[in-house]
Amino acid sequence: MSTFIVLLGPPGAGKGTQAEILAEKTKLAHVSSGDLFRENIKNQTELGRIAKSFMDKGELVPDDVTIKMIKDRLVRPDCETGAILDGFPRTPAQADAFEVILTELKGRVDLVPYITASEEVLVARTGGRWTCRAHGHIYNQTYNPPKQSGVCDFDGSELYQRDDDKEEMVRHRIRVYLKQTMPLVEYYRKAGRIIEIDGMQAKEKVTAIVLDALKNSGSRRDFSAEM
């Protein structure tokens, strides 16, 4: 049976960082819904064109389109033994649809790490983010500042702050995420899959907690040798 991990956490909690680390350590594919949308739109797939038509109007992409993208991604060879999901599911309805997909794939959700942090820490991590205009290198004025203020270390291009990285917008995104995600947290809590983790700890500690929980999750796959 394939192993699937669903990562939950507000912007700035370290979810993306943990997804990359865990994918390397477990040899499971990292499936990011954001990356999947960008890939489909860039490649002008039918699903990408449909998704873009909604996004261009500032509307949410319908669940059936998102779910089809996810399903198409999970049948690729690199997901044969499972995957780490980042950004999907977002609602109990999507989680129900995900369960249907997993039944077809003979897989299951073994663990749902929910990474948390205080709003002030989330704002400091996300609100202080600056992006390089040339190649998109990311900096943080508190945690990873450039050597020279306003200039990229790698290519010397100007650094700018995206609108959604500004403090007011960051606080709004965090509150919206928490409001929308709590029903999903309860969904997986009732299923006995949630493990809540303090994301204010060192990233190595967070990784260790997730890996330890995975070993004790009842997964049919033995990860001990790979970790």
Spatial separation of the C-alpha atoms in residues 155 and 174, rounded to whole Å: 32
**Which residue in 68, 73, 125, 129 is the catalytic one?**
129
Q: Is 76 a catalytic residue?
A: no
Spatial separation of the C-alpha atoms in residues 196 and 114, rounded to whole Å: 5
**Which residue in 15, 68, 73, 125 is the catalytic one?**
15
Q: Is 221 a catalytic residue?
A: no
Spatial separation of the C-alpha atoms in residues 95 and 106, rounded to whole Å: 16
Spatial separation of the C-alpha atoms in residues 62 and 59, rounded to whole Å: 9
Q: Is 129 a catalytic residue?
A: yes
Spatial separation of the C-alpha atoms in residues 181 and 100, rounded to whole Å: 20
Spatial separation of the C-alpha atoms in residues 63 and 6, rounded to whole Å: 17
Q: Is 173 a catalytic residue?
A: yes
Q: Is 133 a catalytic residue?
A: no
**Which residue in 76, 162, 175, 205 is the catalytic one?**
162
**Which residue in 68, 73, 125, 173 is the catalytic one?**
173
Q: Which residues are catalytic?
A: 15, 90, 129, 162, 173
